[in-house]
Amino acid sequence: MPALYLIRHGQASFGAEDYDQLSDLGQRQSRHLGDHFAEQGIIPSAVICGGMKRHRQTAEQCLAAMGLSETFQQGGEHFVLDSDWDEYDHLQILEAYTSLPGVGEKMVQDMAGENPKVGFQNHFSLAMQRWCEGEHDHEYRETWSVFCDRVERGLQAAASGNGNVFVFTSGGAISAVSRKLLALNNVKALSLSWTLANAAYSKVLAGKSGVVMASMNEHSHIDGKHRALLSYR
């Protein structure tokens, strides 16, 4: 039965000029994930990668740790770039939210506190809720429903393959898959996305009876003695 391993990228560079690249921790997480897969004998027959830099860097580090860099070269027969697995445009979602009266100023104030990540997350959660409500779709280049449809299209294509398929993507895309396969409402799907660890993976099985979610957010490989590698943002 084909198995899809939906892999969330390693930690990106929060606060940097270019967010869309792995931090030092993100690179270590990605290599450690590759070590884990190799130790468990989980070898892909194909690799699908979202089009974002952090997706490709996670794939490169993970596959290098597995000794599979030459087998799965970008542009090769078994390595597919698929933008259906790209993350939503969080900057545009935030822009629509912070354009509301007084919101931008409040966000700046909250991020100037002792924990800017917490301040950012609180406002980002509100921005995401506003996006998925569907009442302001005209403000967004890609609506929540269109985003979910896109990811579901990517899922359908990935599930048509054989063997183990590694899919390197983002938390939002994985939450959209869970929304589909676990019949979650929008709020539940969004809340689930906040719990997904960097370089964690979720397993999807594709059989004659359809596509099912076998596991979510597996990250025991970055727990216990490797807990220093654990991050969520």
Q: Residues of 104-135 as b/e, b for ≥16 C-beta within 10 angstroms?
A: eeebeebbeeeeeeebbbebbeebbebbbeee
Identify the burial level of 210 via C-beta atoms within 10 angstroms of its C-beta, where 0-12 means exposed, 13-18 middle and 19 or more buried. exposed
Q: Flag whether pLDDT at 196 surpasses 80.
A: yes
In angstroms and rounded to an integer, the radius of gyration of the C-alpha atoms of the chain is 18
Give SS3 for 213.
strand
Over residues 107-140, the pLDDT tens digits come to 888 788 778 778 888 888 899 999 999 899 999 9
Over residues 154-191, the pLDDT tens digits come to 999 999 888 999 999 999 999 999 999 999 999 889 88
Q: For the whole model, what pTM was predicted?
A: 0.91
Q: At 177, which amino acid appears?
A: V
CA distances from residue 125 to 98, 121, 164 in whole angstroms, order as listed = 12, 6, 34
Q: Flag whether pLDDT at 1 surpasses 80.
A: no
pLDDT of residue 127: 93
Q: At 46, which amino acid appears?
A: A
Report the C-alpha gap between 200 and 33 in whole angstroms: 8
Q: Strand 201-207's sheet: what is its strand order?
A: 79-81, 46-49, 164-169, 3-8, 201-207, 210-218
Give me the domains of the chain, ranges plus CATH numbers: 3-87+145-229 (3.40.50.1240), 90-139 (no CATH)
